[in-house]
Amino acid sequence: MSVFDRARWHNVFAGPPTTTGNTFTMLAGGPAIYAALSRSIRAARHEILLETYIWNNDATGRAFLAAVTAAARRGVKVRILVDGVGSFGLVPESQQPLLRAGAQFRVFNRVRLLHGWSRLFMRDHRKVAIIDGRIAFTGGFGYGDQWAGLPPSGWWDVGVRVSGPVVAQFRRAFAGVWRQSGSTAIAPTVDHHLPHPGTEHLRFVPSRIGRHELFKRLRRAAHPARQRVYICTTYFIPSLWVRHALRRAARRGVDVRLLLPGPEVDHVAFRFAGRRHYGSLLAAGVRIFEYQPSFLHAKYAIVDADWGLLGSSNLDSWSSRFNLEADLEVHSRRAVQALADRFMKDLRFTREITSALWTSRSVWVRFAERFFGGFDPWL
């Protein structure tokens, strides 16, 4: 019997093939993510590929620049791709040691107002790291002090370290955006005879600007759900079809839970615009939890025992309309259970928004939800 039901998930599997023989290691919290990534960078012998939205010119950002600069000096091929808005503060002077060491540094869609507003909104929101074509990382993390500490001082995030055949999919996705950024093409794979070190069924799914990949996958995954649908996201402004799917699942007895940011947010508009959907979801039986210790920046989901997702995508229009995103789909029970265990641990630091609590909110909160909800299509 297969580890997962291929027929059941056929519609969800459109896109790159699911690979077998992978390892999957959850990394909870910025310090754990940074420790694992730093070890891999120090151990790199051939190639380091980093793609991210946020790379700050702070202590953490400079520390990672120093680490990859040291790798370039010992002969490792280093290619770094950052976004023009998310990494706007990374001044050219800070890049000079890296460039002198022989590394390549590119900016996706630099901020040029003369290009027009539509192009300004198109961003590279992916967060991936590929080391020697054998190890890859993804999640919600960038390179900045906000991830350097645990809550309450730092943002809460989760990531994953994988190895095996799925890493080639990471590398092909990076190569595509690298070429779009105006750089010379790089080989999509390193070695066709890499070992298969594990047993996990994984696939890496990059989405393009204007393609609602996360909405489609989540809606299709929730439709046949039988036991549970758990979603953790930073920005919760779901499409009508996703809301329908979640309500239908809850009404037929599926345990549907949402883990969302609490009072600590970086953009207040997203919080109130998303909260206006709470009422109809609660009425259908969806349970909603808001994270309390600090800003929740993690993005992952679980459906039943054989489908999971972790990566950069948020449940908002901005993510689906304007951003390059990338997520790791998980199709083996051990890895899905690791995500579910993480979800239940994260729930310990939340406040559940019950129907009674929701109906007792103040008139000012209701006004904010209605006002910011008017911008729903653009958030």
Do residue 101 and residue 192 come from a single domain? yes
- In the chain, pLDDT over 70 holds for what percent of residues? 86
Does 13 fall in a domain? no
Give dist(CA 141, CA 55) in Å, integer. Answer: 10
Do residue 191 and residue 277 come from a single domain? no
pLDDT of residue 40: 98
Do residue 195 and residue 240 come from a single domain? no
Give dist(CA 207, CA 321) in Å, integer. Answer: 10
pLDDT of residue 222: 81
| Active-site residue (options: 201, 216, 277, 297) | 297
299 is a catalytic site residue: yes
Are residues 160 and 334 in contact, defined by beta-carbon separation less than 8 angstroms?
no
pLDDT above 60: residue 280: yes
**Average pLDDT taken over every residue of the chain:** 86
* Residue where a domain terminates, one of 179, 200, 221: 200
pLDDT of residue 113: 64
| Active-site residue (options: 201, 216, 277, 299) | 299
pLDDT above 90: residue 299: yes
pLDDT above 50: residue 5: no
pLDDT above 50: residue 289: yes
* Residue where a domain terminates, one of 200, 235, 259: 200
Residue 102: how many CA atoms within 13 Å on its side-chain side?
10
What total number of domains does the chain contain? 2
pLDDT of residue 124: 87
Does 208 fall in a domain? no
pLDDT above 80: residue 50: yes
> What CATH number should be reported for the domain holding residue 136?
3.30.870.10
Owning domain of residue 74: 20-200
Higher pLDDT: 87 or 43? It is: 43
Does 272 fall in a domain? yes
345 is a catalytic site residue: no
Average pLDDT, integer, range 29-43: 97
Do residue 55 and residue 149 come from a single domain? yes
304 is a catalytic site residue: yes
Does 298 fall in a domain? yes
pLDDT of residue 60: 96
Do residue 132 and residue 228 come from a single domain? no
Do residue 335 and residue 240 come from a single domain? yes
Average pLDDT, integer, range 250-277: 87
Are residues 95 and 127 in contact, defined by beta-carbon separation less than 8 angstroms?
no
Does 6 fall in a domain? no
Do residue 174 and residue 280 come from a single domain? no
- In the chain, pLDDT over 90 holds for what percent of residues? 59
Residues 343-355: pLDDT tens digits? 999 999 999 999 9
Do residue 219 and residue 120 come from a single domain? no
pLDDT of residue 3: 39
Residues 192-243: pLDDT tens digits? 566 678 899 999 998 876 555 666 777 778 888 899 999 999 988 888 888 8
Do residue 365 and residue 318 come from a single domain? yes
Higher pLDDT: 238 or 133? It is: 133
* Residue where a domain terminates, one of 200, 230, 252: 200
pLDDT above 50: residue 7: no
**Residues ≥6 apart with Cβ < 8 Å to 79:** 47, 48, 49, 50, 103, 104, 106, 174, 178, 183, 186
Do residue 195 and residue 310 come from a single domain? no
Which range, of 153-167, 317-331, 336-350, averages the lowest pLDDT?
317-331
5 is a catalytic site residue: no
| Active-site residue (options: 157, 304, 316, 346) | 304
Residues 85-129: pLDDT tens digits? 888 888 788 889 999 999 999 988 887 666 555 566 678 889 999
Highest average pLDDT, of 267-276, 340-349, 363-372, comes from: 340-349
Does 242 fall in a domain? yes
Give dist(CA 148, CA 29) in Å, integer. Answer: 9
Nearest alpha carbon to residue 128 among 178, 71, 195, 191: 178
| Active-site residue (options: 83, 125, 316, 327) | 125
Do residue 226 and residue 369 come from a single domain? yes
Does 257 fall in a domain? yes
Do residue 189 and residue 230 come from a single domain? no
Does 337 fall in a domain? yes
Are residues 160 and 330 in contact, defined by beta-carbon separation less than 8 angstroms?
no
Helices (H) and strands (E) in the chain, counts: 13, 16
| Active-site residue (options: 132, 157, 327, 346) | 132
